[in-house]
Amino acid sequence: MIDLLRYDFMRIALVLAVLIGLTAPAVGTFIVQRRLALLGDGIGHIALTGIGLGLLTSTSPVLGALVVSVLGAVAIEVLRARSRTGGDVALALLFYGGLAGGVLLTNLRGGGSGLQSYLFGSITSVTVEDLYVVAALAAAVLAIVALFGRELFLLCQDEEVARASGLPARALSLLIAVTAAVTVVIAMRAIGLLLVSALMVVPVAAAQQLTRGFRDTMLTAMGIGVLSAVSGLVGSFEYDLPPGPSIVLLALAVYLLLVLWRTIGDSVIRRDRRSRTLPSSPKEATADAEVRR
Amino acid sequence: MTSTGANGAPPFEMTAGRVRLDGREVLHGIDLRVEPGEVLAVLGANGSGKSTLIRALLGLVPLSGGRTHIYGSPPARFRDWKRVGYVPQRLTVGGGVPATVREVVASGRIARQSRLRPFSSAADRAAVRRALETVGLADRAGHPAQRLSGGQQQRVLIARALAGEPDVFVMDEPTAGVDAASQAALARTLRELVRQGRTIVLVAHELGPLEPLITRAVVVEAGRIAHTGAPPAPEGECARPGHQHLHPHAPGTEPAPLTTWNPA
């Protein structure tokens, strides 16, 4: 581990991994709460067109991805709010358009080789300048989560009650979508656009196996995110594996372990209860049953 | 606490309110004024438009004609949302991530909180505690809300509205699919609110133990108000405690339109 820190690119990559591990699950908690777990995937597809534009115009692919994915997120939110039915088809059209557009634009420039690093990530090619941009974006995302967390929680819990509490529901929905888009761009260099959504969703799903509350879920998910990102990165360096997939598979492994842990824990509790004397009153028994599941 | 707007405006006033949903008009010119301190039951069959009516009162669905005011302001320009508590018609607390009962109830304080103060104040915590005690869930504050029974989850949603300490409560079917214990808890809660002089508008399919609290009822039928006045009172056999209120009219007659709000 100390050896790794001798390399400049590795120090940069580690800082990046920590930033991604913190931001992606923080935003992801709201997205999962809102039952939009695949939003990150959609934005990732759309961002590809931005990459293509950036490569084609020889400007910055990261900037192109940022602009296009923010616009895409706004478009998704507008479509979602406008269409009561068929919204998912509209979203699908947007996703495929983004993916096809990205591949086409990159090929126009000659050869799609540049695309590979954005599709699956190449964390070790990140420069110090990239890191500054990502750090600023990550700080912005975390500030939004801290400042608007209360409003976003109610919005994601129940949009109508949020509106009947005087919250600007449309503006806050846009804020979530745009924050998710920025997070996709942050994580893109490290784990790639096709896998970026995993780090927004998997740590949250894993954390839920342990937690009872929203805040606890978010903090635990951020912990799992940092753990998977850093150990995935180190592991991939040690064993010469691609970092993006390593990070995602580690997060999935954590999820599976926690599911297993909980299943065993639950069955032990059940057996324990059965072996003890029956509850003193039937009322107590139903109260117990109500709480457990 | 004042129970009317600054200019003496009532909590809700709709004039010739029309609502179109998906190109179909579901409310055809509703006139409804909710007076401060009254307990108004909005009754009607499924699909009669009663839920749409109260959602339109709150500005959650736009009017296609007529106008509606909350304490004298159109919903879009209304700013004093801390005076309004909404209990939506939900079977569950919702959300894809667990949230504790306390977290859900505390979110009802939002209209009273400032973004500049990210942590809850002593007043916030006291209001949440009172709300939980009122609905009888104080011992469940740390539990995940999604794992409670349906009736308990409904009580969590009511506690969320209580925590905001509003002047007027709007409840959409608070009794639907709720067990007897939760119904009794709800009746207790409403009695306390009535004692404090709050205004209550509630949509119901059947009133059950809430019936004695209702001061006025409107019956919505096919998007129009078909009846307004005293709630259909149970008499004789029907007034007995525990009676299954199957049919409020004399036996042998065809069900009158009014009975549609109470099929068993």
CATH code of A112's domain = 1.10.3470.10
**Which residue in B12, B83, B97 has the most chain A C-beta atoms within 10 A of its own C-beta, making it the best mutation to test that interface?**
B97
DSSP single-letter state for residue A111: -
Q: Looking at CA atoms only, how far is residue B73 from chain A in angstroms?
A: 13
Contact call for residues A42 and A88 (beta carbons, < 8 A) = no
Residue of B nearest to A166 (CA): B81
From the list A191, A142, A144, the residue with the least C-alpha distance to A44 is: A191
CATH 3.30.30.10 fits B12-261, yes or no: no
Residues of chain B in contact with residue A146, where contact means CB-CB under 8 angstroms, are 118
Average pLDDT of the segment spanning B64-89: 93
CA–CA distance, A252 with A203 (Å, rounded to integer): 8
CA–CA distance, A48 with A97 (Å, rounded to integer): 10
Q: What is the pLDDT of residue B252?
A: 40
CA–CA distance, B62 with B53 (Å, rounded to integer): 11
Average pLDDT of chain A, as a whole number:
86
Chain segment B110-141, per-residue pLDDT in tens: 988 876 676 778 889 999 999 999 888 999 99
Average pLDDT of the segment spanning B226-243: 61
CB atoms inside a 10 Å sphere around CB A37? 18
* pLDDT of B247 over the 60 cut: no
Pick from A44-48, B70-74, B116-120: least confident: B116-120
Smallest Cβ–Cβ distance between B103 and the set A204, A213, A292 belongs to: A213
DSSP single-letter state for residue B43: E
* pLDDT of B250 over the 80 cut: no
Q: What is the pLDDT of residue A212?
A: 92
Structure tokens belonging to residue B98? 């667990």
- Judged by CB atoms closer than 8 Å, whether chains meet at B97 and A208 is answered as yes
Please report how many Cα atoms fall inside a 13 Å half-sphere around the Cα of residue A288, on the Cβ side.
12
Q: What is the pLDDT of residue B238?
A: 46
More confident call, A272 vs B60: B60
Domain that holds residue A181: 3-292
- Judged by CB atoms closer than 8 Å, whether chains meet at A165 and B111 is answered as yes
First vs last C-alpha separation in chain B: 40
Best-predicted range by mean pLDDT (A19-23, B144-148, B185-189, B219-223): A19-23
Domain borders along chain B are 12-261
Q: Looking at CA atoms only, how far is residue B106 from chain A in angstroms?
A: 10
More confident call, A52 vs B179: A52
Q: What's the total number of domains in chain A?
A: 1
* pLDDT of B160 over the 60 cut: yes
Q: Looking at CA atoms only, how far is residue B111 from chain A in angstroms?
A: 6
